[in-house]
């Protein structure tokens, strides 16, 4: 059975989509086609969308699921006319909060993902720049300014995790690749000299060698770099280094970048500079 879910917003749609995906992920037996419809900020756009939802209901033979964060009451009234199972996030939660706080909501569009305070916005941008500047072992002389330094073999997820930590939490994350250049004369992986003064900031990433080989094969097919033997050796050496140096680490094979980042923050006790958008 296939159902269609619409995530509707008069802003970016990020809140509706994030909550909607989290809720619908609990129903693994149902195939759900998810559509995000942002900036439904006029009556004409709302009416056009209602027509799309009506056509979808006819095509699917089932009423769509409608999850919205529409603020404007007139636009919400138009959306209510669409055939579907509706989850109105704002009306569900804001009314009880107004009663509890004894205050009225501003019902402003885009408050969650607006720039807001300039200092918070600039800190976010600076954190992203730091992650980009310190990607893949670049500028190790800046590691004294890092909140966290991710280490791991090539293609285990260091770069996307660093950027997510920066963008979502304002954490200045650098990342350093563990390679054969860091091995001693006996072929044993050693902690790189650039990382020794910053051991307390290190966090390791590992990955299933089969998954690593598949990822590397897309980049360099039929190469030593992507061979199973090479991937197994690199992962085993990296994990051995983590255990020897007491570096906390996480297996990225089955975790999303959001889960990896949140687990890191929980385990390290890092303070988020701001809440995720």
| Domain range summary for the chain, segments of one domain joined by + | 3-101, 117-268
Ligand-binding annotation for 18, yes or no, is no
Ligand-binding annotation for 157, yes or no, is yes
Distances (CA, A) of 60 to 5, 32, 65, 163: 11, 11, 12, 39
Ligand-binding annotation for 231, yes or no, is no
3-state secondary structure the chain: CEEEEEEECCCCCHHHHHHHHHHHCCCCCCEEEEEEECCCCCHHHHHHHHHHHHHHHHHHCCCCEEEECCCCHHHHHHHHCCCCEEEEHHHHHHHHHHHHHCCCCCCCCCCCCCCCCHHHHHHHHHHHHHHHHCHHHCCHHHHHHCCEEEEECCCCCHHHHHHHHHHHHCCCEEEEECCHHHECCCCCECCCHHHHHHHHHEEEEECCHHHHHHHHHHHCCCCCCCCHHHHHHHHHHHHHHHHHHCCCEEECCCCCHHHHHHHHHHHHCCCCCCCCC
- Output the pLDDT for position 114: 47
Place of tokens 């997510």: 164
- Output the pLDDT for position 115: 47
Ligand-binding annotation for 37, yes or no, is no
Among 252, 237, 130, 253, residue whose Cα is nearest residue 203: 252
The bridge status of strand 249-251 relative to strand 148-152 is unpaired
Dihedrals φ, ψ of 67, to 5°? -115, 120
pLDDT tens profile 215-247 = 999 999 999 999 999 999 999 999 999 999 999
Sequence-separated (6 or more) residues with CB below 8 Å from residue 222: none
Write out residues in the chain with pLDDT < 70, as ranges.
1, 106-118, 273-277
pLDDT tens profile 70-90 = 988 899 999 999 999 998 887
Ligand-binding annotation for 61, yes or no, is no
CATH topology classification for 117-268: Rossmann fold (3.40.50)
Among 150, 247, 261, residue whose Cα is nearest residue 200: 247
- Output the pLDDT for position 117: 55
Radius of gyration, CA atoms only, the chain: 23
How far apart, in Å, do the first and last CA atoms of the chain sit? 33
């Amino acid at each position: 059975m296939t159902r269609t879910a619409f995530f509707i917003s008069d802003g970016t749609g990020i809140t509706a989509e994030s909550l909607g995906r989290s809720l619908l992920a609990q129903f693994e037996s149902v195939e759900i086609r998810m559509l995000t419809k942002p900036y439904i900020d006029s009556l004409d756009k709302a009416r056009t969308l209602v027509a799309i939802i009506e056509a979808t209901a006819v095509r699917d033979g089932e009423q769509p699921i409608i999850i919205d964060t529409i603020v404007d009451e007139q636009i919400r009234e138009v959306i209510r006319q669409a055939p579907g199972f509706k989850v109105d996030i704002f009306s569900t939660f804001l009314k009880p909060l107004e009663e509890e706080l004894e205050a009225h909501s501003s019902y402003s569009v885009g408050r969650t993902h607006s720039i807001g305070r300039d200092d918070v916005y600039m800190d976010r941008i600076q954190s992203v720049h730091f992650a980009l500047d310190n990607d893949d072992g670049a500028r190790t002389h800046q590691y004294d300014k890092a909140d966290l330094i991710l280490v791991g073999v090539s293609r285990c997820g260091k770069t996307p995790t660093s950027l997510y930590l920066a963008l979502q939490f304002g954490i200045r994350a650098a990342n350093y690749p563990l390679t054969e250049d860091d091995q001693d004369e006996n072929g044993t992986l050693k902690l790189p000299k650039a990382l020794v003064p910053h051991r307390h900031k290190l966090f390791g990433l590992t990955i299933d060698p089969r998954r690593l080989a598949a990822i590397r094969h897309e980049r360099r097919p039929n190469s030593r770099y992507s061979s199973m033997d090479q991937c197994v050796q690199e992962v085993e050496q990296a994990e051995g280094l983590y255990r020897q140096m007491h570096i906390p680490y996480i297996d990225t094979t089955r975790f999303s970048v959001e889960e990896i980042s949140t687990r890191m923050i929980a385990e390290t006790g890092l303070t988020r500079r701001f809440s995720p958008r």
